[in-house]
Amino acid sequence: MSNETVHVRILDKEYQVACPPEERSALLESAQILDERMRMIKRGGGVMGLERIAVMAALNLSHELLQAKSTSTANGIDSESLNRMQNKIEAQLDKLSTR
């Protein structure tokens, strides 16, 4: 299956990301969540540079993911799905940090 190029806007900057067509809506939703989180950090005023804002957002989201994993394990939810989600988040953040 081939990937399609999806344009996402994060902190008023456009990025092109390749993803399978069936994951397009999840990518757009992830980009929206990341944009909102980065804007919230930027409004806080403590962190100024785009890279630092992205790192702070990544740390916050990773922390939340680990908490969700812990809770889901206790509740019997499939941790494999959460691992896949974490890998996707990390891959997208790696792409953002190399631009």
Range of the domain at 81: 4-97
Whole-angstrom Cα distance, residue 83 to residue 81?
5
Six-digit token string for 5: 């190029």
Q: What is the pLDDT along the chain (99 residues), one digit of tens a residue?
A: 689 999 999 999 999 999 999 999 999 999 999 999 999 999 988 767 888 899 889 999 988 988 887 776 666 666 677 777 788 887 777 777 666
Please report, as a single letter, which amino acid is at residue 73.
T
Query: Contact at 8 Å (CB) between 50 and 61?
Result: no
What is the pTM (predicted TM-score) of this model?
A: 0.68
CATH of the domain at 87: 3.30.160.880
Q: State the total domains in the chain.
A: 1
